[in-house]
Amino acid sequence: MPPCGQPLSFLSLPYSPPWEAPQPGRTFDPKPPPPPSLAVEPIQRLTVSQTDLDLGEVWETDRHEHVIHVTNPGTEPVEVASWQTSCDCHKVDPPTVTVKPGETLAVRLTLNLMPRSTELWTGHTRATAVAIKPRFANENTSAGWQIAGTVKPFYRPVSELPSTARSELAQPFAPDVLSVEFLVPVRGVRVMADAPLAGVRVIPPSAGETKHRIECQWLEKILIGSHVSTINVRASTVDGKSLPTIAIPCRLDVVEDVRLSQTNVNLVQTGHAVSAEEIVEVYSITSKGIFVTRIEQTVKDPHIVVSIRDASTVTVRATGTTTMTPRRHSVIVIIDSAGRRYEIPLQINIS
């Protein structure tokens, strides 16, 4: 479900993010006064009871249905040509209506109560407010009503996939497991990945638990690089109502096994005949044997010396000179690890 959009132009200011989530040692009013940006004027031609404007405490969802009863207290019919809401993600039915004198009609709202794209998901109960405005035929008005309440999240993430880079030599990778806890009774939990990096399955919770574990079984061979995908978790409430899809971002970084402690070396000259030196270490993610066999310099520079210090260490040195100007230099470090050859570029910056 796409994130909630921006408020319509009839509101003076954009909708501000929800009120601050509860913090230790601080009180939290679950129904704070409505923000000034959503303040609206009472409508004289149509009325709605205050009870209908109280959303109450509801579960977080992208399809919450709420009914308001619109009454025409006047002596002439009132024609509503259309409705406007504080977010284009809300729907109003019927889209047009004529209310006769003294008549009361039910208007059904379908509200998207998920966090907006500019809001951070906190996993806490949060305040919400929705403005709705009728547009009368042949009349332009800025008056409307405000529906306010609190929203409870229906889930919270318990654990995520590890974010560390993984060596290509460690494949096939061991399965990873993340956990999601539903805060509302659910059934029919299912999961799907949008990229063919792994097979995913749901491990049902044990008796008395509410956490659902999701196991990712990675493919036997994944190419070097950064792979981004999304794991989509779907579930229904016990009464069969579908909950919004939980989209869990997933990133897998597969790298060459041999790495340098730094790939950009910055050397600063402090004066004539003063050398600047830096040590670059070579290591293996899988702790395999490493041997630096050669350094290739494509450009000869008498003031820059790159040498092999020992099997896993390279020394970069710039000799001091008052005539040296800032420059950039690069070399290729040739490494042998468990019979495999690696060529890693090393950038050297002199200032």
Which domains are present in the chain? 36-152 (2.60.40.10), 155-255 (2.60.40), 258-350 (2.60.40.10)
* Spatial CB neighbours of 277, under 8 Å, sequence gap ≥ 6: 267, 315, 316, 317, 318
Distances (CA, A) of 230 to 143, 161, 195, 222: 42, 12, 7, 17
Work out the mean pLDDT of the chain and round it to a whole number.
79
How many angstroms separate the CA atoms of 199 and 172, rounded?
13
> Can you tell me the mean pLDDT for 310-324?
75
**300, pLDDT greater than 70:** yes
What is the model's pLDDT at position 53? 93
Report the C-alpha gap between 149 and 5 in whole angstroms: 19
- What is the CB-side half-sphere exposure of residue 268 using CA atoms within 13 A? 1
Residue 11 reports pLDDT greater than 60: no
pLDDT number for residue 262: 87
Which of 92, 114, 112, 113 is CA-nearest to residue 48? 92
pTM of structure: 0.56
Q: In the structure, what pLDDT confidence band is assigned to residue 253 with cuts at 50, 70 and 90?
A: very high
Q: 5-19, 51-65, 166-180, 318-332: which has the minimum mean pLDDT?
A: 5-19
CA distance 196 to 218: 9
Q: What is the dihedral of CA 119, 55, 98, 80, to 10 degrees?
A: -30
Per DSSP, the three-state class of 56 is strand
Q: Is the pLDDT of residue 10 over 50?
A: no
Question: pLDDT digits over 189-226, tens only?
Answer: 999 988 888 899 999 888 877 789 999 999 999 999 99
CA distance 230 to 248: 6
